[in-house]
């Protein structure tokens, strides 16, 4: 004989089991169309994969990660996805005109000038007119780079840089950022046929600090070595634009990691899902400063720690 307590437990099981089974069945039968975000890598490189991993970790919606080659083989089939995220400019370019125009396109991990060139290429495109595209840039804004220069060299008056065909278009922006930090900007333009020593040596010699810009037409491996060599010989602090260049000998750089870019991209997608407004293209929100103690000692400079420089830059932008 079952006692009254056991009989009550059996009755509760019979009453609860069907609804619980129904709930599990409903959860498992959620349509794949609710996997709202498709993340498309330009290629399966480490930096793109790191960006995608961080992006996926911060998304508040189901997602799928693929490559542009795989998606091309599927004839750009994006059925079931409303938010398309391109990681890298190659994927962004191919997706721009090959996915339905009503779908939002987030392009991440690309330089600002590359994004602007993409908009110019597709000038007048329905996606642009409808505000269905935005981006998260890889490079840092000039005002952040010049603010770092001022924190490192409080007494400096002249900052110099070398421009190429791409970065030359930003001369006005550079001048504005330099003026805001109390610098006089000196610059030269480098062409492929120029002798970098003849161009860079007098420029660096007359400067208090030198800023290297991520212009591929100027910043070749050979030129990068000459800039390091000349600045070291002239005892002029050199600001780079990547952690690797600091490790190679530059004094400092402000930069963003793939994880930083991935997190920010996810936040933009999440924000759209919340308010249905596609945000404007933007520079990295998350960044850090790397410094080279050996370079600082060689230059006899006592500079703040990377953590302090990062914090001070963040406070300046609040």
Alpha carbon of 137 to those of 51, 111, 255, 256, 309: distances in Å? 12, 5, 11, 10, 22
21: CB partners within 8 A, 6+ apart: none
Alpha carbon of 234 to those of 161, 224, 254, 302: distances in Å? 15, 15, 23, 18
**The CATH fold of domain 142-255+287-316:** Rossmann fold (3.40.50)
**First vs last C-alpha separation in the chain:** 73
Q: What is the DSSP string of 207-235?
A: -SEEE----TTT--HHHHHHHHHHHHHHT
CA separation for the pair 251, 74 (Å, rounded): 47
Residue 187: strand, helix, or coil? strand
CA separation for the pair 246, 249 (Å, rounded): 5
Residue owning tokens 């997602």: 63
Alpha carbon of 230 to those of 81, 148, 177, 210, 211: distances in Å? 52, 21, 25, 11, 13
Task: List the chain pLDDT tens, one digit each, 318 residues.
Answer: 444 444 444 443 443 333 333 322 222 223 444 458 999 999 999 999 999 999 999 999 999 999 999 999 999 999 999 899 999 999 999 999 999 999 999 999 999 999 999 999 999 999 999 999 999 999 999 999 999 999 999 999 999 999 988 899 999 999 999 999 999 999 999 887 888 788 899 999 999 999 999 887 777 777 888 899 999 999 999 999 999 999 999 999 999 999 999 999 999 999 998 888 898 999 999 999 999 999 999 999 999 999 999 999 999 999
Side-chain-side CA neighbours of residue 275 (13 Å)? 6
**32-138+260-275: which CATH number, 3.40.50.10780, 3.30.230.10, 3.40.50.2300, 3.40.50.620?**
3.40.50.2300
Q: What are the tokens at 131?
A: 């505000």
CA separation for the pair 295, 293 (Å, rounded): 5
Q: What are the tokens at 312?
A: 């001070």
What are the backbone angles phi and psi of residue 63, rounded to the nearest 5°?
A: -145, 170
pLDDT of residue 111: 95
CA separation for the pair 6, 4 (Å, rounded): 6
pLDDT of residue 219: 76
Residue 60: strand, helix, or coil? coil
CA separation for the pair 179, 183 (Å, rounded): 5
Q: What is the DSSP string of 112-157?
A: HHHHHHHHHHTTT-HHHHTT-EEEEESSPPHHHHHHHHHHH-TT--
Asked if 86 contacts 295 with a C-beta cutoff of 8 angstroms, the reply is: no
Same fold, 32-138+260-275 and 142-255+287-316: yes
Q: Could you state, in order of their start, the residue ranges of all structural domains in the chain? A: 32-138+260-275, 142-255+287-316
Burial of 127 (0-12, 13-18, 19+ CB in 10 A): buried
CA separation for the pair 85, 108 (Å, rounded): 7
């Amino acid at each position: 004989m079952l006692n009254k307590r056991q009989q009550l437990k059996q009755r509760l099981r019979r009453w609860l089991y069907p609804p619980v089974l129904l709930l599990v069945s409903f959860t498992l039968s959620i349509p794949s169309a609710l996997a709202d975000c498709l993340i498309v890598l330009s290629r399966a490189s480490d930096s793109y994969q790191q960006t995608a991993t961080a992006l996926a970790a911060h998304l508040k919606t189901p997602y799928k990660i693929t490559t542009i080659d795989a998606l091309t083989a599927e004839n750009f089939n994006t059925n079931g996805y409303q938010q398309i995220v391109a990681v890298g400019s190659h994927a962004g370019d191919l997706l721009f005109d090959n996915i339905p125009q009503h779908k939002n396109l987030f392009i991440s991990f690309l330089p600002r000038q590359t994004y602007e060139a993409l908009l110019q290429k597709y000038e007048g495109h329905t996606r642009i007119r409808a505000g269905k595209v935005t981006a998260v840039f890889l490079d840092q804004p000039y005002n952040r780079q010049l603010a770092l220069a001022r924190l490192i060299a409080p007494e400096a008056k002249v900052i110099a840089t070398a421009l190429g065909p791409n970065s030359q278009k930003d001369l006005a922006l550079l001048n504005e950022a330099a003026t805001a930090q109390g610098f006089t900007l000196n610059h030269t333009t480098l062409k492929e046929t120029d002798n970098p020593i003849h161009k860079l040596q007098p420029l660096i010699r007359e400067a208090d600090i030198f800023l290297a810009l991520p212009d591929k037409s100027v910043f070749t491996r050979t030129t990068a070595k000459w800039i390091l060599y000349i600045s070291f010989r002239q005892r002029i602090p050199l600001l780079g634009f990547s952690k690797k260049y600091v490790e190679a000998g530059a004094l400092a750089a402000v930069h963003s990691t793939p994880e930083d870019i991935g997190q920010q991209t996810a936040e933009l997608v999440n924000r759209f899902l919340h308010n249905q407004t596609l945000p404007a293209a933007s520079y990295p929100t998350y960044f850090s400063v790397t410094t080279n103690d050996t370079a600082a000692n060689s230059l006899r400079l006592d500079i703040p720690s990377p953590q302090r420089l990062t914090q001070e830059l963040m406070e300046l932008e609040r």
